[in-house]
């Protein structure tokens, strides 16, 4: 399995995996440029881990982050190159 580096990756966590009360169980890292578009237009974003979903929530400090997204994000080169 090969790994691709995404160009211009500027990410922040976004939520999926909702609980019964509509609170996300964890947040995923997605391209920052796609967050506003998804929130306004309802388009789907692709997280670093491959999860596809529309942006519906913003994370709060201390929110749980997808372990796979975090692992990928931590291994990306600085500056998104």
Tell me which residue of 36, 26, 21 sits closest to 60, measured CA to CA.
26
Q: What is the pLDDT of residue 59?
A: 83
Q: What is the pLDDT of residue 36?
A: 86
Question: For residue range 29-62, what is the model confidence (pLDDT) as tens digits?
Answer: 998 889 888 888 989 999 999 999 998 888 888 8
User: Is the CB of residue 26 less than 8 Å from the CB of residue 16?
Assistant: yes
Number of domains in the chain: 1
Q: What is the pLDDT of residue 67?
A: 94
Q: Is 39 contained in some domain?
A: yes
Supply the range of the domain harboring residue 64. Answer: 32-75
Note the helical H segments in the chain.
32-41, 67-74
User: Is the CB of residue 35 less than 8 Å from the CB of residue 28?
Assistant: no
Confidence band for 2, pLDDT divided at 50, 70 and 90: very low
Q: Is 41 contained in some domain?
A: yes
Token pair belonging to 79: 């500056």
> Measured between alpha carbons, how far is residue 28 from residues 6, 31, 53, 59, 71 in Å?
15, 10, 10, 9, 11
27: pLDDT strictly greater than 60: yes
């Amino acid at each position: 399995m090969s790994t691709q580096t995404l160009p211009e990756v500027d990410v922040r966590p976004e939520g999926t995996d909702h609980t019964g009360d509509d609170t996300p169980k964890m947040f995923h890292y997605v391209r920052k440029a796609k967050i506003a578009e998804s929130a306004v237009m309802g388009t789907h974003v692709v997280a670093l881990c491959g999860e596809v979903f529309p942006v519906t929530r913003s994370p709060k400090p201390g929110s749980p982050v997808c372990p796979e997204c975090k692992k990928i994000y931590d291994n990306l080169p600085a500056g998104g190159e």
